[in-house]
Each structure stands twice: as C-alpha cells, then as structure tokens.
Structure 1
Amino acid sequence: MSKGKLVVVGGDAAGMSAASKVRREQPDREIVVFERGNHTSYAACGMPYFIAGQVSDSDQLIARKPAVFREKQNIDVRTRHEVINIDVDSKKVEVRNIKEDSTFWESYDELLIATGASPIRPDFEGIDSDGIFGLSTLQTGIDVFKYIEKHSPKKAVIVGGGYIGIEMAEALLDLDMEVTLFDMAPQVMTTMDKDMADLIAEYMRESGVNLFLNEKLDSFEAKNGTVTSVLTDQREVEAELVILGMGVKPNAALTDGTPIETGVKGAIKVDKKLQTSVPGIWAAGDCAESYHLIKKEKTWIALGTVANKHGLVAGINLSGGDLEFPGVCGTAITKFKDLEISRTGLSEKELEESGIKYKTAMIESRTRSGYYPGSDKINVKLIAEENNGKILGGQIVGFAGSAKRIDTIVTAITAGMTAQNIVDLDLSYAPPFSPVWDPVQTAARRLV
C-alpha cells in the first residue's frame, strides 16, 4: 500500500534504483527526485576510461536519462535542483533551483536521502586553481575530458594512490602524459596489505609512473589562476593537470540541524532496513552506513555495488516490503594497465585493530596451466582466523584472469567457510582457465 508522496534526494545509483523499484511496485504513487547535477543513473566508475578515450561518448556511461524516467516511468526527476534543508516536523524539504537561483518548499510523506559522497578537498594553498580536479560526478569527468581536449597538458600529477589515483594514472599515461603520483602513505592502495601493494607500486614504476610515497602535499603553485606545480614536503613537480584522489566523504550535511543521526565517519546512521533515526526518512548509497559482515558492526564503504543494493533494499521497503540489507565485506576490484587488483574482507591492519588473531598465506602461481599460451603470474593472499581457519580476507594481484577470482573468496567469507572448505571445493579446471589447483585453493592449502 502506498504511503503517499515519495521525495528522493539524489538521482544516481541508490536514489534511482529505489525510485524505480517503488514505481514498479506502486504504479500510481507520486515520486519526485531532486538531483543537483545534470545527469541521473550514470556509471561514475567509467570516468577514467572515458577520459582515456576508451569510451567514445559520455552518454555511454548514462544508464537512463532524466527524460526517460519522466516519460517512461512517470518519475518526476528534476535536475539542477539541490535540496538544502529538511523540516522534519512539517515534512518538507527546501529546494534550490540552481538554474533560476530561486528556492521553494516541497512536501513529502516519505523521504529518501541518497546524496552520495564527495572527493576530499583539503584547504591547501592554490587548490582552487584551474587545472585541479576531483572526480565524483559524471560532470567532473566531462570537465576533465574537456580540459585535456582544450589545453593538451603534458605533465600530470595525481595526489592519492587509491582506486581513482591508480585508474587515472593509467588513463593519463594512455594519453601520453608524464604522470607523477604522490601519496602520504608508505604504500598505494591502503585497503590492501603492504606486501601486496608493493607489487602494484613496482609495476606502476616499471610502466612509467613517477611514484613518490611517504610524501605529504604542501601546496599548489599557479600562474594567472592556472596550476603550474605541486609542492610536497620533499619536492616540487611541474603540473599542467592535477587529479585529486585523496578519498571521499559522505554527503551528510543535509542532516545538520535535524534529528537525523549520523554515525561512522559522518555517514547517515541507518538500520538494516535503511531507515534513519527519524520515522519516514530513509538513507541509501554512499551517504549512508552499512553493516560489516566480519566485524559485526557498522561501517562506511563508498562503492557503486553497495549503492545499487542499498537502493534496491530501500525501494522494496518504501513500497511496502520488508527486507534487510545483509551487509558488506568491502569487495573491490580495479586494474592498472595489464595488472589486475582485487580485495575483500579484512586486511592484516584491520584485523590487528579488531584484536582478531589470524594467520596468512601468500602464494605466486599462474593464471592458466603453465604450458598454455597466455599463462601469467598471479599473487594470492588469504587471511584466516587462527583458531578455526575461517576465511577473513583475501587479496589478489596478477595479470589477465586474476582479479575476478576474488569472488570465490568473498563467497567463502559470506558462507562462513574455512580454508579447508575452499580446498575441498569442486572448482572447474581446464588449461586455458586455470592450473589443476586454482591459485585460490593453492593459497588455502597453505592455511590448513
């Protein structure tokens, strides 16, 4: 049964997944979506590949445009409209029409906050200079593409060695730029253990990236308002283009001054049904908390997979269903050129912080039978609980055919399997796909 008018704040993965599910279940319900940007339902993860020219048109990254939602699904999507205030007592949101620079109040019966996350952009000197970009929305990706097209930069600096930093390093190398990457941490990919991250760093340097770790960003220098160099605590590097990949933070400022509670890392606090602390108000996607399946506690993980699943669960519950979001393991995958990278579960650092005793195994194997053409290296690290052998985490770094094996590991974690259970799995085998002992099973054998 419909609970009246639904207002959704945010028109990307979580917001539109929820709105679409509600529409399928409740064809006559009034649904209004406010999106402060120009686009809805886009693949932000595809931006580095669009910038590199591997995706020929930004429209290819859009799953469904606002007009389609309006005309085919009768969802009132209003782009360039930013919700700036929530009055929970009167059940209204204050909306700014960005194009007209005017504001108005919109009523709701139920409200879903799906405002996503934003790049961390510290207040360094010169950070607002032209040529410095953070990637979050599709529009920011388009802005980078147009800037490169117009200015043809030859020297690029990336600040941060996480997913965005690594993917953009590949993209800018493909565009024949000299690429320098800084990170204040002693390794790239801090969600992984250093022994695995070092394999990535070595390959990046071999591929031509000037990689500097353990260096803190100090400031940016500019001439006539355009960036010219990046300064760290150890050096100065020329820059005609700068990409900030320093992480993201949840867009939860909309809850300020309301009874809506925030939790881990400032994300909006939700229960497993994605309800906030205020009845009738829900939150989903990168702005909201999740539940960690291994730690058994609230966490915050900004990933497109999580956002889409959040949206589906919220949509089911908003349309009268009763479903809980089961939780996350932090599974993620990326690549740098030919090197595939993936991880799931907890790292050694996280386990030490959690006080869980563990054991590890790290092996080097082959992606296919060694004699088969195209066989290449794969490194697998498995982490298991010390006492019972239950799998707690896994990391993979290797070449073609490596990274998606992480799905076997996260399935094992979700099912509560042990290293022996993985060894016993009846996995498929043929020389073009795997050695007779799959590398994941080879790692598991070291733990039993």
Structure 2
Amino acid sequence: MPEKLVVIGGVAAGPSAAFKAKRTNPDLEVLLITDEEDLSYGACGLPYLISRKISERRRLVARDVEAFRKGGIDVRLKTRVEKIDVNGRFVVAGGENIRYDYLLIATGASPLIPPFEGVNLDGVFTLRTLRDGDRIIDYIRRENPWKAVIVGAGYIGVEMAESFASLGMRVTMVELMPHILINMDGDIAEKVENYLRENRVEVLTSTKVLGFEGKRRVERVITDKGKIEADIVLLAIGVRPNSELAKEAGLALGPKGSIDVNNLMETSVPGIYAAGDCADAVHLVTGKKVYIPLGSTANKQGRVAGSNIAGERAIFPGVVGTAIAKVMDMEIARTGLSVEEAKAEGLKIKTSLIESHTTAGYYPGGSSISVKIVAEEETGRILG
C-alpha cells in the first residue's frame, strides 16, 4: 500500500504542499480536503475583484479541481475535518475515518469578529475568502450602497478603501489605534492617512466601534464619538489562526495560538506538518517565533512541507515580515522591524527618513518616494 498524505486546506499552503509532494514522489497518494467550494485562489486580489479592476473571478483561481486531478491529487470540496486522531493516524471528515501516513494542516486563518451589537445585520461583511468577495459583490449590485464604513485600517482596510472609493462610494475608515497601518511607524502611516484624506477618504483614528444599527440592513455604525451613516460595512480588524483541530489533537501552539512548527514545517507530533496562516515562523531579525500571516509565506511554507513529506529535505529559514500594499496610486511596503517593534526588543536604535524621487531630477515623470531605515545604534545593523 502506498504512503498517503492528507492535506487539510485548499487555498495557498495546502495546494502548494500537495503539488510539491506529488511531483517529488509520484507514488505518494495525496488527498486534499477543504471546507470551501473554491480551490487555490489568490485572496490578495479580492479587493480588485470587488472594484472590477479584475473583471473575471476565474483570474484569481490558480488551479481548478480538474488541474488537481490531472496532477494525481484527489480533492474533496465542502468537507469539514472534524477531528485528528494522532494515535490512530486518521482524520474524521464527512463522517468517515480517513487514514494518513503524513498530515499537513493548512487551515489558514479567520477574520476577527468582535461581539458587536448588530454585527449580523445584512450589509456587514468580512473579506477573507472568494465566497466573501462574491457576497460583497452581490450586495453592491443589489443595494447600490453609497456610504461605506471600514472598521480597521490594516492592509485589507486601506485596499478596500480604494476599492469602495473607485465604485463611487463615500468611504469612512474607523481605527481604534492612534494611527492606521499599526504595523508601520506613525510618521509613515501619517503620509498614507494624508493621502487617503486627499482622495476623499475620511479617516477616524483613536475611535472605538461599539456596534451597528439598522432595520432590514445596516444603517449606522455606533462609535464612542458618535454615529456614522453606513450602507455597507467591512470588518477588517485582523485575523486569528485556525488552530482548533491542532489544539484538540494535542499539538503544541505558538504565538497568538498559531501551530508551532520547526524549520521543516513539522509540528510537535511526528508525521504531522503545518503551513500557512495557521502556523508560526521564526523572525530572522529577532530569532523569535512570530505569527505574521502572509500569502507569500504560506506558499513557501507549503512547498517546504511538501518537499519534506516526499523525502526531499528542505528548510524554511524564517520571515522578516515583508508586506506590500497599494492604496490608489500610492505603494507602501515594510520589512524587518518598525521602531516600536525594535524598542520592544530592547534594542537601541537610530532612524533615518529619506525623502527623494524615483527618477533623476532631469528625467521626466517619476514620483516622490519616502524610505525610512531603522538600524541598531552600536553595530549599524539594518533592522527594518
């Protein structure tokens, strides 16, 4: 009987691992189980599908079910894995016990949804899956909303501000923290805030959302500073790792409840691997375990897990938290440690903010550019 790999999760890390393992060891039996209707799609493109900059849904899908089957990978859609039996080496899914020799947990993450009053009103959305995108698109077509409120101002929040604004909506962003893009330093975030305001996006910082009001659908957002009229609301407060299965199976957990893995993507239980937005990683600057869920990391971790499962040794060295986003015509990015993160590590730092232009002064075109460098004071080592 050939060895069998069972993969739980079908968006990024799961498919990457499944294909890598099957290509490396064609004799390996591979089964991918997902509770979604869609497979192997680029969730980072969802704001642009909603804004119609991406005209066709299928352009976000890297591989459909037929591509998996042609690759020798069996797929079960809309099937929830209910339990992992570590001792018996099987999972329970759809009322069936499915054996495995190797198991990859790639269950991703879920949006944080606080227990706000009125959070279940029609017109209040999160954006994580392709189906979430479908629901937002259908609502916009049906209700033709004009006043959009985005709760949270991270990467998804600012990208969706662009998306809603491009559809002609009046957009208000509500952020609990003192500035948007809390993973960036305040002086950099301020530049993005000012740019959003210049483009008619209202930005409310240090503002706490208390709930939502409405009859048939959402009509107002209640905050500690008053009420905001709304026809559509997006909750973009952050995510939490989907690690419940792993926790119940007795696997060790890491930062923020993520699944703890080593540099081979192995968990604390032999034969069980984890990758993607449910797993932790080592930060290459601090050497500490962190939880930084990003699509690029998920695909890399998936390939490393697939290689090791199939018998080809591979190492995932870690992350530096590199993230890039676009806000209208402004591009923003970060890597390494911010000032606050460096200070939290007890590091003595120096910073430099460089304001320049993307082209030489004599060359037409180009645009302004700001680069902030965070360095260790004693050694000059670049931290971020």
TM-score range, shorter chain: over 0.9
Shift of 1:3: 7.2
Matched, 1:5 2:1: no
Runs of 5+ in structure 2 lacking a partner?
none
SS at match of 1:287: coil
Which residue does 1:170 correspond to in 2? 162
Shift of 1:256: 3.0
| Cα distance in 2, alignment partners of residues 376 and 311 from structure 1 | 37
| Cα distance in 2, alignment partners of residues 55 and 112 from structure 1 | 32
| Cα distance in 2, alignment partners of residues 233 and 18 from structure 1 | 46
Q: Which of 277, 292, 298 is the equivalent residue of 2:283?
A: 292
Which residue does 1:203 correspond to in 2? 195
SS at match of 2:75: strand
Q: Deviations over 1:367-420 (max 9, x none)?
A: 111232213211110011111111110xxxxxxxxxxxxxxxxxxxxxxxxxxx
Matched, 1:106 2:98: yes
Output the amino acid matched with 1:385.
E
Which structure carries more relative contact order (alpha carbon 8 Å, separation 6+)?
2
SS at match of 1:365: strand
Q: Which of 53, 63, 77 is the equivalent residue of 1:79?
A: 77
SS at match of 1:140: helix
Which residue does 1:310 correspond to in 2? 301
Maintained 8 Å contact 2:325/2:331? yes
Q: Deviations over 1:183-229 (max 9, x none)?
A: 001111111100110000001011001110000110011203x1111
Percent identical pairs in the alignment equals 48
SS at match of 2:374: strand
Q: Which of 205, 210, 216 is the equivalent residue of 1:218?
A: 210
Q: How many residues align?
A: 384
SS at match of 2:361: coil
| Cα distance in 2, alignment partners of residues 19 and 8 from structure 1 | 7
User: Which residues in structure 2 correspond to 1:56-75 (within 5 Å)?
Assistant: 56-70=55-69, 72-75=70-73
Which residue does 1:396 correspond to in 2? none
| Cα distance in 2, alignment partners of residues 347 and 380 from structure 1 | 12
Which residue does 1:90 correspond to in 2? 88
Maintained 8 Å contact 1:316/1:323? yes
| Cα distance in 2, alignment partners of residues 135 and 95 from structure 1 | 26
RMSD: 1.1
Shift of 1:323: 1.7
User: Which residues in structure 2 correspond to 1:122-141 (within 5 Å)?
Assistant: 122-141=114-133
SS at match of 2:335: strand
Matched, 1:146 2:138: yes
SS at match of 1:90: coil
SS at match of 1:285: coil
Maintained 8 Å contact 2:208/2:223? yes
Output the amino acid matched with 1:148.
I
| Greater than 2 Å deviation, 4+ residue runs | none
Maintained 8 Å contact 1:66/1:79? no
Runs of 5+ in structure 1 lacking a partner?
97-102, 394-448
Shift of 1:322: 1.7
User: Which residues in structure 2 correspond to 1:251-400 (within 5 Å)?
Assistant: 251-393=242-384
Structure 1 residues 165, 159: CA separation in 2 closer, same or farther (over 3 Å shift)? same
User: Which residues in structure 2 correspond to 1:383-422 (within 5 Å)?
Assistant: 383-393=374-384
Which residue does 1:435 correspond to in 2? none
Shift of 1:21: 0.5
| Cα distance in 1, alignment partners of residues 100 and 374 from structure 2 | 47
Which residue does 1:28 correspond to in 2? 27
Shift of 1:119: 0.7
Which residue does 2:37 correspond to in 1? 38
Which residue does 1:429 correspond to in 2? none
